[in-house]
Amino acid sequence: MHVGVVGAGSWGTTVAAMAAVNAPTLLWARREALAVQINTEHRNGDYLPQFTLPDALCASTSLEEVVSTADVLVMAVPSHGYREVASEAARFLRPWVPVVSLTKGLERASRKRMSEVTRDEMPGHPVAVLTGPNLAKEILSGQPAASVVAIDDNDIATELQRLFGRPTLRVYTNDDVVGCEVGGVVKNVIAIASGMAEGMGFGDNTRATLITRGLAEMTRLGIAMGGHAATFAGLAGMGDLIATCSSKQSRNNTVGLQLGQGRAIADIVAEMNMVAEGVKSSPSVLDLARRHGVDMPITEQVVAVCHQGRSAADALTALMQRSRKSEME
């Protein structure tokens, strides 16, 4: 089995490194200098400079080379460029090769999940999602963690479970692709809110409140879209939400932290060398919520801060002054 990974950012590189332990793996990088560095120095100096990558991991700037040799194709491209790259990759993909999405975002124009975009551009291919509380640096450091591979084909799920698993990473299977994707999208939005609270100087009670009520928002939307309630109590829901809302390594949490400190969203994003998916996805999440008749007040305030100029302080006030409700609502 040969694995092709499209996208040499921090998480794409990490998953490629994981796969390379179990199978020959080729990683697509846009820049020639980065591909050369991975092949000669076994490092990704752009995103993971402190880690040594497996000797078995190779990189190429040829999308055709990476895709045409793959028995499993992994897509690690940000949501805003996912369709374009998937469309190009589809030209070189052999029939029936499984495609695994790592992207926790929504396509802005269509509001589609990445598995849906994949099916649009790569019809006839089984589509899986790899998700969970997986911060790249901790995975590469060999810290114990768990992940979820979601696909409705048990045979493929079992093979992917073997491919991505390692002694320090336990991979579970789940047939709820919708729920796993919704969890991965919404947790990024809630992490921005959690970061804003920290940036304003608030503590653990506030974070716990946002995580818990954020989980309620995630679950309501996920069920409305066809996901399973149990998924949101698992690694793809609660697990990923806790990690992203709590970690200094989280890009979305970091964006929120700086918003809470009073910085402008344009300045924050301009300084980042990686995409914070929650910023781009939050309007799409809110649109889906309204389309499905789901109340998502935290998401609404994140959109207001990130896209409508509201201050983090005003957003928090708006949340706290909402009408009294039952916790079950």
Long-range contacts of 250-254 (CB under 8 A, 24+ apart): 250/135, 250/191, 250/195, 251/275, 251/276, 251/277, 252/188, 252/189, 252/191, 252/192, 252/195, 252/276, 252/277, 252/278, 252/279, 253/191, 253/192, 253/194, 253/195, 253/198, 254/195
Q: How far apart are CA 84 and CA 154, in angstroms?
A: 29
Residue 286 region, left (φ>0) first, then alpha (ψ -120 to 50), else beta? alpha
Tell me the C-alpha to C-alpha distance, in Å, between residue 170 and each of 153, 249, 253.
19, 21, 25
> How is residue 48 annotated by DSSP?
B
Phi, psi of 248 (to 5 degrees): -70, -15
Sole residue written with tokens 């609270």: 197
Residue of 104, 112, 137, 187 with catalytic role = 187
Active site residue 187: yes
Position 79, amino acid: S
Please give the span between the terminal C-alpha atoms of the chain, in angstroms, as a whole number.
Answer: 48
The rounded distance, in Å, linking the Cα atoms of 19 and 113 is 24
Nearest to 69 by CA among 156, 6, 117, 153: 6
Q: H helices within the chain, ranges in order?
A: 10-20, 32-41, 63-68, 79-90, 114-121, 136-140, 154-164, 177-199, 204-224, 229-232, 240-246, 251-260, 265-270, 277-291, 297-307, 312-320
**Residues acting as catalytic residues:** 187
